[in-house]
Amino acid sequence: MTGAMVRLLGFAVPGERDGMPIGDVLRRDYGLSRTLMTRIRQEGRITINGDEVMAWTLAVGGDQVEVWLPESPSPGVIPEAIPIDVVYEDDDVLVLNKPPGLVVHPTKGYPRGTLANAVAHYWKEKGMAMTVRPVHRLDRDTSGVILFAKNAYADQHLSEQLTTGKMKRRYWALAQGVVRPPQGTIELRIGVAGDTDLREVSPQGQVAITRYRTLETWDSHCLVEVELLTGRTHQIRAHFSHLGHPLVADGQYGAVASPLMGRTGLHAKELSFFHPTKRVRVTLTTDLPADFQAAVAKLRAQPI
């Protein structure tokens, strides 16, 4: 179903592009993929100074260009009135602080009650018929900052950053034991663990690089800041489990039951990306949720 038109881009043609086909300007200056250009030709429109034009129309320096494409709600993502915590939002992106215990997108096991259902409801209430596009995922028990693209161009631009490593993601993890050395880089390939949805360190797996530094230590636990240099499924959990320091309450990766927290001790603390249209780096942070703060407080209260 075709929805309402949404503006992907709006800009003035720079003088050095005078006489160039507008489609070439879009590809060279804004990196629009062939797939997206095809969609725009078939479903969308390009305007110059308010008049619709074809991709081969020659640009003139100073012309005001806008690119539009229809948006529709995601099929199968039923809007549900689930509260969300908006960290940042504009015409291109929506950044949320995800609570623990919430799946990001509907699956066979979780067809309803997901963050995507919540976002669909949020946009519906604002009168916006939008596709729900999570740029990256967080595990159900992981809390913290998560990014959604609000149109196809933003999705392409941000997904490329995720793939190339230009998007920076920092986590805080509460691990069993004390990690040695206190800071370093884990470069261990990760693959699927047998006939399961879990991951394990494996020479046949995909390249996985995790940088970490210890923030605080106690007798039997440590608080670690982690930066993902690659984005493999369960990367942090699998890497720290392999080192013998599974994250608190992460029973799937070898942690023992803990009185500190009732879910995996992992929080997405910071996200940094180049804005797809503003062309500046945006860095957003989230506070530790109450259960994580309480766990740290319990450890700090232990006698030395």
Last residue within a domain, chosen from 18, 36, 70: 70
Low-confidence ranges of the chain (pLDDT < 70): 1-2, 304
User: Domain tally for the chain?
Assistant: 2
Last residue within a domain, chosen from 20, 42, 70: 70
The pLDDT of residue 304 is: 64
The pLDDT of residue 108 is: 86
- b/e 276-287 (16+ beta carbons within 10 angstroms → b): bbeeeebebebe
Last residue within a domain, chosen from 13, 41, 70: 70
Catalytic residue among 18, 63, 85, 139: 139
Confirm whether 287 is a catalytic residue.
no
Q: 121 lies in a domain? A: no
Q: 243 lies in a domain? A: yes
Its domain, for residue 188, covers 168-268+294-300
The pLDDT of residue 1 is: 41
* CB < 8 Å & 24+ apart, contacts of 242-249: 242/188, 242/200, 242/201, 243/179, 243/186, 244/177, 245/175, 245/176, 245/177, 245/178, 245/179, 246/175, 246/176, 247/173, 247/174, 247/175, 247/176, 248/174, 248/175, 248/176, 248/221, 248/295, 249/141
Strand partners, 149: 93, 133
